[in-house]
Structure 1
Amino acid sequence: MRRPAPESDVVLSSRVRIARNLRQYPFPMFANSAQSAKVMEQLLSVAESGRLNGVDSVQAIRLSDLTELEKLVLVEKHLISPMLANESRNAALILSRNEDVSIMINEEDHLRIQCLYPGFQIPEAWDFSSKIDDLFEESVDYAFDEKRGYLTSCPTNVGTGIRASVMMHLPALVLTGQINRILTAVTQVGLAVRGLYGEGSEATGNLFQISNQITLGQSEQEIIDNLHSVAKQIIGHEKAARSKLMTESRTRIEDRIKRSFGILSYATIIDSKEASQRLSDIRLGVHLGLLPQVSLETINELTVSTQPGFLQQAFGETLSPEQRDVARAQMIRTKLASRA
């Protein structure tokens, strides 16, 4: 999120995740400890042998070696899932140095390859994740059926086994009342809409994750092309809505954005939900040119660093919810004052 990226005023990130299982072992939910340990060691050996050519230097991390706080931070950075964080037995992570590649071992499936790119780069994320998938397939035997495709723990992933998604900031569509119509249309073309942390999470801060629902009956390229096409249309709608706000309601939208900036600049206590919404307003203000004194890099950093795990890591201690709200306000005040 620190790098310039295509359409970053609307799309925060693009992600492709590939689910795979090893033919000779039961799915993780049915595997015993000895079987899951063999899976972990076999998959870690691929990374540790240097066979992941083209991937920035990788680190193999056993989840059992991490503290609960360290696992929470990885969840907040979207590098592991909450499910993997709660399953430390024979669970592991292969992580690239710049964190654009994270590979989960013994989550819902034996292997989940994830490529996370800044901005609107779905094809690029797919190309890279596919290359990593091919490198693993040279070393292990995947569970594959000629009719059904790749076999996965959850039936909704059977087939290609891929989930592609974009994280989109859509404040203008929300403010102009168009968001429900847009999201309804999205679901009718086989895509799913979720919040910041995926399935079951709330779309706080006007952040929406758009992803494919269908993995069987379409090719990988069809899935990627469909998501890319729909996301491109949503980007166009969001930009048109922003132009409409500036044309028809400039005074009101400017007042809203600057009020949020003022609150975040001086508040002494703020919860995560309000912080997320206020940061959304400021992000919109930056892209509309209404807050030239604030950098997008600062807003990107605060979007992540004000999460509970990051806060506790930054302050070096376990914090109660109220203490986190005080620490969050302090961090935001400091960043806005020093890095605007």
Structure 2
Amino acid sequence: MSDKKKWYEYAGDDSDVIVSTRVSVARNLKDHPFVWRMRAAERKAVLRTVISAVQDEHLSIAGLFSCTLMEELTKTQAVSLAERGVVSPEFIAKCEGKALLCSEDESISIAVNGGDHLLLSAMRPGLDLDGAGSAADTLESVLSRVLPFAFDREFGYLTADPANLGTGMHAELTMHLPGLARAGSLSRVASGLAQLGLSLREGVGAESGAELYRLSNRVTLGISEQEATFNLKSMAYQVVMQERAARKTLCQPLESQDRIFRCLGVLQHARILPLGEFMECFSNVRLGIAQQMFPAGPAMDAMAPLMMRAQPATLTLLTGRSMTAAERDAARADLVRVLWKGEKGKES
């Protein structure tokens, strides 16, 4: 992992509710079968073609990406990439013939030979569909000069998943929704969004314990990228307003305030911190920060990197040694105290 500050170490617009923005563009190479139909030699051929194009010194993106062959990574290194959101959990399930090209701050990446030949992704903190969309579009435009992308006049860009036909663009917002979740309103909100072609679903893995949800577009055929992002942004603002209203009600009772402050105490003083307990406390403390309940406490921009580093594989890489589950729980507690309380000692 690079020492350069990552994209998620900043708090963006509307970060009290919207943790991050991702815009991904799926592309496949003309005259090549889809990944699921390719043999090992064909996957390697696509891999060489893509890497050669990205590293072309005549392109404006030359030198921007480092290249990682997935099959050369340890399982811990691969899982850490998924924990940090650089790649999907599905991408690391089988690493043969796959590669990741990634910028140093991890904000822009190209996953090669996943579901499609290329998945171009741009990440931004908070709500920034314009910034992420522009970065992904620029990358796609540059690569289209040297790579022949599969395109059909009727269906648009051809993708392995028919649901992505057309633009091949997928925009997603990760949202912290404890107010709506605890009020029991999420199913109603998700149902309304589905009628507008949007999907609201629970986060994956440990994210679910932190009350993180993903709002994304579902329609790519017959609609432009601009229309898709405009619709997503418009509805995201509606969800943000509903969440903020729900939080006011949620945080009024003394019992709710007590729960939030107790969670802050756990993160500041615990010596053993299992992942599940950490994620629950993380959600409550993030809520407390958003509601300005801790004048001298942690800042919002500390939350995302804290969550990333506390995940099992990433935590293992930071410590530089393999650990038992009990040792990870102790290391996680040490990590949180060092980051937030400034305790002396080596950061785990």
TM-score range, shorter chain: over 0.9
Residue 289 of structure 1 pairs with residue 296 of structure 2:
no
Moved more, 188-197 or 141-150: 188-197
Residue 270 of structure 1 pairs with residue 270 of structure 2:
no
Which AA in structure 2 matches 1:182?
V
Unaligned runs of 5+ in 1: none
- Residue deviations 1:12-36, cap 9 Å, x none? 1100011110111111111111111
Unaligned runs of 5+ in 2: 1-7, 344-348
Residue 29 of structure 1 pairs with residue 36 of structure 2:
yes
Alignment-derived partner of residue 210 in structure 1: 215
RMSD: 2.0
**Could you tell me how far 1:83 is from its partner in structure 2?**
2.3
Alignment-derived partner of residue 4 in structure 2: none
Which AA in structure 2 matches 1:98?
D
Shift of the 215–328 alpha-carbon distance from structure 1 to 2, 3 Å rule, reads: same
Counterpart contact for 1:11–1:120, Cα < 8 Å: yes
Distance in 1 between residues matched to 2:230 and 2:266, nearest whole Å: 41
**Could you tell me how far 1:50 is from its partner in structure 2?**
3.3
Alignment-derived partner of residue 59 in structure 1: 66
Q: Would you identify which runs of 4 or more consecutive aligned residues in structure 1 move more than 3 Å?
A: none
Shift of the 174–12 alpha-carbon distance from structure 1 to 2, 3 Å rule, reads: same
Distance in 2 between residues matched to 1:46 and 1:28, nearest whole Å: 19
Alignment-derived partner of residue 330 in structure 1: 334
SS at match of 1:82: coil
What is the 5 A alignment of 1:160-175?
A: 160-175=167-182
- Residue deviations 1:192-220, cap 9 Å, x none? 223334xx886321110111111212222
How many positions carry a matched residue from both structures?
335
What is the 5 A alignment of 1:1-340?
A: 1-53=8-60, 57-197=64-204, 203-246=208-251, 249-292=252-295, 293-338=297-342
Distance in 1 between residues matched to 2:93 and 2:181, nearest whole Å: 34
SS at match of 2:35: coil
Distance in 2 between residues matched to 1:336 and 1:128, nearest whole Å: 33
What TM-score do the two structures reach when normalised by structure 1?
A: 0.92
Identity of aligned residues (%): 32
SS at match of 2:91: helix
Shift of the 244–295 alpha-carbon distance from structure 1 to 2, 3 Å rule, reads: same
Which AA in structure 1 matches 2:196?
V
Which AA in structure 2 matches 1:42?
T
